[in-house]
Structures are given as structure tokens and as C-alpha cells.
Structure 1
């Protein structure tokens, strides 16, 4: 069997012209608001169909896929009955950015789970690089390997701390206590949601040299009610990078058959980042500790 990297290469080749086509005619692209107040376009459906077809061509027609736009409303019996090998797909993470011609923070996301745990992931941001060129990142948990545009890179955990936090939130959700504590501790905050996956990517990998303006790395990513397809690939990259991921009590995140079989698997909260930044968060948002 081909390695999963061959699937990543195929997806990049197939997805880039599809994204370019839809982005060239945004004015004629209908946009629908879903029940959770996120956006849906024909591009989301087209990209999802392409990705799922590629996965099933690679892994067999019986490949088990959890995809954002699969419209599942009941227990996922295919997931419940499988051996823990599951593909998670978010066709366009950051659709609200995708439909704005001036924005570039959107991406297509695939994560492979094996034995119910993230094993490999691929993120393609078609226009994120300087000059609106693609940026791709893949992760392999078994080898702790991270590839940025096909070249192996060191994780952000091995670089100097930047004192930045991604603490994006749902509309209407306020966290004034956290905001004050973070600013007092010296952290800069990002609170507006663009692409959760790209924020998690920036927690695991430094991409600032590839973007204009430079998009700096985050020391900590915190999100409540994070859907699986928004988080699986980012959590896979974090694991490969040696970062810590947990819930708001410091407990490991749920990766079980029952959780993944839900119609919309959702983490109550995701706290991911440098161990010292996660420790600061868990210890009452006090001054961050330096190693």
C-alpha cells in the first residue's frame, strides 16, 4: 500500500485548481448560514466530495469518514463498528474567510485516526503564503515528523516563546477575566475566529517566514466547544510537535469509540500549547513559568 504522503500529494494537486476556480467567482457563489451559524457554500461540498473520493480510492471503498458536511444527525454506526481507523475531514475550515476575497486564512483539512487516536494529518492553505501561494503542512505522530511545504521542520516548541495566545470564541461568549489575566502575564491575545486549524498549526509550526504580513506562532491555543473536524488535524500536529493538549481541568481529551460515533463529536474545551503555557492556564492564569 502507498504511504499516506502519496494521498497528501494527490490532494494538493487536485484541490488547488478547485480552490482557484471558486475563489475566482466568489461574487456568484451562494452562501448559506447553517444552524450553528457557520457558513456553507457549494465549494465546501465540492471540496468534501473530492477529498472523500480520494480517501476511498487510497484506503478502499469501505474507508470510514467523518466529514463536516455529511449531514449526519444520528449515531455514526460505521464509526461504532470499525476498528478505530477513521478519517476526519473539514473541507474548508474558515469558510467565512474563504468567501471574503481579501482574506487568506482558510484551509482544507484531513486527519487519519488509528486505534482511535490521531496518527497523521494534512493541512492545505491555498493562499496563505506571501503572494497568495499555497502553504501545506503534514504531520506523522509515529515519527514525530512535521513537513512544511514538503520539507521537515522543527516544531515551535523548540523555538523561543512568543507570548501569544489564540483564545478565539463563539459569538457572544465573553471571557474578561481571562483576557485581563493574559494581558497581565504579558500575552498578546487573538480572539477573532478565522480558521481554528490554522491557529493550531501556528501553535505547532512557525510559518511566519512564509506569510505577509508574518503570522507569528502561538504559545497557547484555547477553544471551548471545538468540533472534531476543527480540531483533529491540529491536535495531531500538536502531538507530533511534542506539545501538551488537555481539557480545562488538565485531563486528556476524549478519543473513544462512543465520542467519535456521535453525529457532531465536540470537545468541551481544547487547551493546547507549550507545556509551560498550558501549566499557566491550568494554574489559575497566573504569571507564566519559564523553563
Structure 2
């Protein structure tokens, strides 16, 4: 399948997920999964809808989904699905969650889509192509020094004590009056569109970040782990996104300053 066809398929997957999600927005009761994280009927319905398309049209490809696990394939390709990234925000009625669709080839993300199905915003990135926001190129912004950077994370409670100390060491060198808490994948979309400078998170799973990499990098940014290494299927879940790659060394040094 050629890249244009893969992108078209990703759009159809997001359309199907959005159709399953919208009837439940602000009408939802949450359950708890085994790890105590919340899940809703909308999460399951959206992933079921996208899996059905992939199983029918791409049976040779693997599927990795947050709600229904992994199905092996024979092609070296995996579609990675997070039907609602930001379920807590979804339950709270906040339209800053997103559906994530990614395509990995041999463990590396080559296509990513972030869709906000309530307010109608969609970012698509693919290797070798500019990221598009609702069909228009998206661009990150320059950040001349770390002290002027806006920093975002989903929440401090996702860090263990050492990670929290590292994050605060980074926060201490950024513009703390512009720090953003909450937002999940929407923070990365805002970074890709030039509204944030740095996102720093820990404990992420493959389905949390795979779609974000092509979006951020196709807009001119960079994504990596906390050591500055590229993200792949084997990464441990420490994730950085920077709108200006020139600040990477500064950000890694700040994280490591906590010891």
C-alpha cells in the first residue's frame, strides 16, 4: 500500500472513531480497568470500529490498541490505536482529548494522526511530508532560549519521585508562568502548531506516543526520550517533544541536573 493510501486509511479510521465517540460526549459513565485507569463505552466502541476496518482491509498488518491489546501480523507493519487519549478529560467533558492512529514499520512510526472529533481538528504527519492541520501545513515555533519556553505535561502525578524531581529541574529553567498542566495528546498538537515549546512526560505506552512522532517532526519539531534518543517500539515511555530542536541539549541537560 502506498503512502497516500495509508494516509487515506488513517483518515477513515479517525472518521470511524469519531462517529463512535461523539454520541457519548458529556453523556458518559466511566468504569475502572485493572490498573485503575478509567475507560468508557466510547473508548471501546471507537477501537472496535477502527479494528474492524483494519481486520477487513489490512489482515496482514498487526494491530496494537489500548483497549483490546495486540494482534500479530506478518508484514512487519503495525497500526497503533488509542481511541481516546485523554479519557479523564473526555469524562470531564473537556474537548482536548484525541483519537490517535499510527503506522509503524519495523517498530518505527512513519505515519501519525491526531484527531479531536468534537471541535473538528485533525493533524496528520508522515515521513518525508509536512504535517497538515485540517489540510494546511502546521509549523512549530522557534525558541531562542530555554528560559522563554512554555512547558506542558499531562500531570505531576504521572511521575515517580525521581522523575518528578527531574521534571521540576526542567521546569525551573523554563517560563514557569506559562506552564500547562493537562492536555494529553492535545499538547503535542499545540506544539506542532506553534503554541507550546516543550512537552515532557513519563510512563507512556506505545499507543500514547506513536502517532505523535510524525506529527511533531513533520511540523519541524523533534521527539525523543529523556536522553535525547529516538523513540521506537522498544522505548521505555520517557517522552520529550520540542518545537525547536535547537533546545534539545538544553532540555536534556536540565533533566539530568536533578541527578
Tell me the TM-score normalized by structure 2: 0.82
SS at match of 2:246: helix
> Where does 1:143-222 land on structure 2 (aligned, <5 Å)?
143=129, 145-151=130-136, 153-157=137-141, 163-168=149-154, 169-171=156-158, 173=160, 175=164, 178-179=167-168, 182-187=171-176, 188-190=178-180, 192-195=181-184, 197-206=185-194, 217-222=195-200
Q: Equivalents in 2 of 1:279, 1:84: separation in Å?
A: 33
Give the superposition deviation at 1:238: 2.2
Give the superposition deviation at 1:250: 2.5
Residue 14 of structure 1 corresponds to 16
Change (3 A) 1:87 1:249: same
User: 2:61 touches 2:75 (CA, 8 Å); kept in 1?
Assistant: no
User: 1:220 touches 1:278 (CA, 8 Å); kept in 2?
Assistant: no
Residue 236 of structure 1 corresponds to 214
SS at match of 1:226: coil
Give the superposition deviation at 1:203: 2.0
Change (3 A) 1:157 1:114: farther
Aligned length: 248
User: 1:96 touches 1:194 (CA, 8 Å); kept in 2?
Assistant: no
CA offset digits 1:225-262 (Å, max 9, x no partner): 2111111011221232332332222233344xxx3xxx
Structure 2 gap ranges (5+): none
User: 1:272 touches 1:278 (CA, 8 Å); kept in 2?
Assistant: no
Alignment match of 2:78 (pick from 86, 105, 111): 86
Structure 1 gap ranges (5+): 128-132, 207-216, 260-265, 287-291
Give the superposition deviation at 1:18: 2.2
Q: Equivalents in 2 of 1:57, 1:278: separation in Å?
A: 42
User: 1:68 touches 1:91 (CA, 8 Å); kept in 2?
Assistant: yes
Residue 130 of structure 1 corresponds to none
SS at match of 2:117: strand
Cα RMSD between the aligned structures?
2.8
1:65 matched to 2:63 = yes
CA offset digits 1:17-52 (Å, max 9, x no partner): 3222112632xx3x2122333211111111001011
Q: Equivalents in 2 of 1:172, 1:116: separation in Å?
A: 26
Q: Equivalents in 2 of 1:181, 1:159: separation in Å?
A: 15
Q: Equivalents in 2 of 1:248, 1:7: separation in Å?
A: 32
Q: Equivalents in 2 of 1:158, 1:57: separation in Å?
A: 43
User: 1:157 touches 1:241 (CA, 8 Å); kept in 2?
Assistant: no
SS at match of 2:183: coil
Give the superposition deviation at 1:149: 1.2
Further displaced range: 224-233 or 246-255: 246-255
CA offset digits 1:179-211 (Å, max 9, x no partner): 365345434322x3432x2212222224xxxxx
CA offset digits 1:100-128 (Å, max 9, x no partner): 23x1111111000123211111111112x
Tell me the TM-score normalized by structure 1: 0.74
